[in-house]
Amino acid sequence: MKKALLVAECRQGRLVADYAELPGFARALGSESSMVLVGYPEELPRFDGRLHFADAREYGEYNPDVHKRLVLRAVEAERPDYVVFMHSSYGWDLAPRVAAAMRAAQVSEVSGIGDGGFVTGCCNGKMRRTVRPLTPCAVLTLRQGAFHAERGGEPRCLPLEAEKAASVQLLRYEPPAGGGIDLSRAEVVVSAGRGVGRQEHIELVRALAEALGGEVGASRPVVDAGWLEHGRQIGSTGQTVAPSLYVACGVSGAIQHVAGMKGSGFVIAINTDRDAPIAEVADLLVAADLEQFLPVLISKLRS
Ligand SMILES: Cc1cc2nc3c(=O)[nH]c(=O)nc-3n(C[C@H](O)[C@H](O)[C@H](O)COP(=O)(O)OP(=O)(O)OC[C@H]3O[C@@H](n4cnc5c(N)ncnc54)[C@H](O)[C@@H]3O)c2cc1C
């Protein structure tokens, strides 16, 4: 059986919740797994297996040299076939360093497994490609939301140690202007597409999201028009979401949009065009005009 070493992440003293997609990926791959974490979270990851753990209060919350060394220590201990990161800023920065140190193949932003390889997006989401690594161990980063989250019990903790010499020092984190929007963990997403017609109709989409206890998403034209913030864009050049319920309001279902929501559980599309491509990924297509249908639906939900 293949072995995967999963690299969890801690940011500002908190475990980054999408670490749970790493064991989900290992299960989809049919591999055994162990985990490595450099951090000081209030709670350890819930994971059934060995957790190589270094306390970041000693090693620094993020320092590429030191974190690379610690991950490589865990690699030495586990001898995995895959070292797997999430495709986060931590993964973007650290995975190539680890791959270079190991002279291993790296495959970035994996969204699926198939034909003995890994599926990744390319050409800004217009195409997908399947890549088979040819080195004995490969370093992967996983697209957020592409694999099911899986949590286990208490991990078996093994202490990790490494030299602390570093070439850079993390000074601080700063929130982005306007605040970050993270739709990747939303259970319900209601998206506005160009079919909403006018900026005022965004309020209908917002009201539906509120009635369903969800978040508002958007297609690119809606963001380009300035009707919603870029942080809400879903698709190949936006966020990837995997909610239980996705409601696409006036979204045609272009490949670049679908790339960001195809992991959703149940998809409802509201569209005047029964033959819109979104019908191919929707579980339910409501052939209706948004302007007439949404107020009725919202009032029914509220009552
Ligand atoms: C490199 C690149 C990257 C891209 N990245 C992204 C991305 O990340 N995300 C993204 O979304 N797009 C992206 N796009 C754009 C993408 O190709 C599509 O143009 C876009 O997704 C279309 O958005 P839409 O579905 O809102 O609009 P349209 O394609 O114009 O569809 C509008 C839909 O609304 C329906 N409609 C119209 N009026 C009503 C009404 N009154 N009631 C109900 N339905 C109605 C129409 O039938 C139609 O199906 C990218 C494109 C490129 C080239």
- What DSSP designation does 49 have? S
Establish whether residue 238 lines the binding site of ligand 1, counting it when its CB lies within 6 angstroms of any ligand atom: yes
The count of domains in the chain is 2
Residue 266: CATH number of its domain: 3.40.50.1220
How would you list the strands of the sheet with 266-271, edge to edge?
Answer: 215-218, 188-192, 245-249, 266-271, 284-287
pLDDT at res. 125 = 62
Question: What distance in angstroms lies between residue 111's CA and the mean position of ligand 1's atoms?
Answer: 22
Residues 249 and 127 in one domain: no
Does some domain include residue 271? yes
Those residues with Cβ within 8 angstroms of residue 232's Cβ, 6 or more apart along the chain or in another chain: 181, 183, 215, 216, 217, 218, 223, 238, 239
Question: What distance in angstroms lies between residue 55's CA and the mean position of ligand 1's atoms?
Answer: 46
Q: Give the span between the Cα atoms of 96 and 88, in whole angstroms.
A: 13
Residues 21 and 138 in one domain: yes
Strand partners, 39: 55
Residues 81 and 16 in one domain: yes
Q: Give the span between the Cα atoms of 220 and 214, in whole angstroms.
A: 19
Residues 110 and 43 in one domain: yes
Establish whether residue 232 lines the binding site of ligand 1, counting it when its CB lies within 6 angstroms of any ligand atom: no
Establish whether residue 68 lines the binding site of ligand 1, counting it when its CB lies within 6 angstroms of any ligand atom: no
Does some domain include residue 180? no
pLDDT in tens, 6-63: 999 998 888 987 899 999 999 999 999 999 999 888 889 999 999 999 998 888 788 8
Establish whether residue 235 lines the binding site of ligand 1, counting it when its CB lies within 6 angstroms of any ligand atom: yes
Establish whether residue 197 lines the binding site of ligand 1, counting it when its CB lies within 6 angstroms of any ligand atom: yes
Last residue of a domain, one of 139, 159, 179: 159
pLDDT at res. 126 = 65
Ligand 1 test: best mutation among 216, 257, 293, most atoms within 8 Å of CB? 257
Establish whether residue 217 lines the binding site of ligand 1, counting it when its CB lies within 6 angstroms of any ligand atom: no
Establish whether residue 243 lines the binding site of ligand 1, counting it when its CB lies within 6 angstroms of any ligand atom: no
Residues of the chain with pLDDT under 70: 124-126, 176-179
Establish whether residue 256 lines the binding site of ligand 1, counting it when its CB lies within 6 angstroms of any ligand atom: yes
Residue whose CA is at the smallest distance from ligand 1 atom 29: 252
What letters, b where the CB count within 10 A reaches 16 and e where it falls short, cover 199-238?
Answer: eebbebbbbbbebbebbbbbbbbbbeeebbeebbbbbbeb
Residues 147 and 201 in one domain: no
pLDDT at res. 128 = 85
Residue 145: CATH number of its domain: 3.40.50.620
Establish whether residue 240 lines the binding site of ligand 1, counting it when its CB lies within 6 angstroms of any ligand atom: no
Question: What distance in angstroms lies between residue 202's CA and the mean position of ligand 1's atoms?
Answer: 15
Q: Which two tokens stand for residue 119?
A: 């599926």
Considering the entire predicted model, what is its pTM? 0.67
Question: What distance in angstroms lies between residue 268's CA and the mean position of ligand 1's atoms?
Answer: 16
- Domain of 74? 3-159
